[in-house]
């Protein structure tokens, strides 16, 4: 696959359109991308086909007229991640990715999921080879020993609001 860079200039006259073909793309679906530097991204996960998980990572470097895609060493995936058929996740920003896998093989509750954080942030100006050493994954508990959340507990957020409210009764009391 190729990438296409389309540039549209809008001078005072008529617009000028240019197209540059940038060879060297990758074919992947449902991958997660995170930004590690201003012009550098890491692509993790996804699928090669409908049911073949993509267990490799790629670093993408952007320049004005080229895109360089380099396969980087993938982290040591846990056996649960390697053997599950599906996975999902999202970019958390700052070079971190949240991965989830279904826990239906280990628990009676089929809605249970286990989550991992993959950190791909390159510290300072380390080389790309060192990035593979920085990549790591973690889970707060061993997936086999943790109990899944109940439906009502899955996403519970709370916070205190300190607002200064005023009603008419308060105003009358202050004027007396």
What's the pLDDT score for residue 144?
53
What pLDDT is attached to residue 105? 57
What pLDDT score was predicted for residue 90? Answer: 92
Query: What pLDDT, on a 0 to 100 scale, did the predictor assign at position 135?
Result: 42
Which has the closest alpha carbon to 56: 118, 122, 146, 14?
Answer: 118
- Distance CA(29)–CA(18), nearest Å, equals 28
Return phi, psi of residue 79, to 5°: -55, -35
Q: What is the pTM of this model?
A: 0.58
| Least confident range of 21-25, 77-81, 164-168 | 164-168
The residues spanned by each domain of the chain are 3-122
Mean per-residue pLDDT for 30-52?
87
Q: Which two tokens stand for residue 127?
A: 């080389």
- Give per-residue pLDDT as tens, 106-164: 555 567 788 889 888 755 544 444 443 344 444 444 545 555 444 433 443 444 444 45
Per-residue pLDDT tens digits for 61-87 = 888 777 888 998 888 888 888 888 888
Percent of the chain with pLDDT over 70: 63
Place 53 in a pLDDT band, splitting at 50, 70 and 90. confident
Q: Look at strands 113-119 and 96-102 and give their pairing.
A: antiparallel
Q: Which of 85, 95, 103, 88 is nearest to 136 (CA)?
A: 95
- Map tokens 């200039």 to a residue: 9
| Percentage, residues of the chain above pLDDT 90 | 9
Higher pLDDT, 94 or 153: 94
Q: Kindly report the average pLDDT of the chain as a whole number.
A: 72
The pLDDT value given to residue 110: 63
């Amino acid at each position: 696959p190729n990438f296409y860079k389309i540039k549209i200039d809008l001078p005072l006259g008529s617009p000028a359109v240019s197209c540059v073909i940038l060879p060297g793309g990758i074919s992947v679906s449902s991958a997660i991308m995170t930004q590690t530097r201003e012009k550098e991204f890491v692509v993790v996960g996804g699928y090669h086909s409908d049911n073949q998980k993509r267990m490799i990572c790629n670093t993408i470097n952007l320049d004005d007229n080229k895109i360089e895609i380099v396969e980087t060493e993938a982290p040591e995936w846990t056996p649960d991640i390697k053997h599950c058929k599906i996975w999902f996740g999202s970019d958390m920003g700052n070079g971190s990715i949240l991965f989830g896998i279904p826990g239906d093989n280990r628990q009676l509750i089929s809605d249970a999921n286990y989550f991992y954080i993959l950190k791909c942030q390159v510290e300072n100006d380390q080389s790309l080879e060192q990035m593979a050493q920085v990549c790591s994954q973690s889970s707060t508990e061993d997936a086999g020993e943790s109990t899944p959340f109940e439906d009502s507990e899955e996403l519970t957020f709370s916070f205190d609001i300190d607002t200064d409210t005023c009603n008419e009764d308060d105003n009358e009391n202050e004027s007396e």
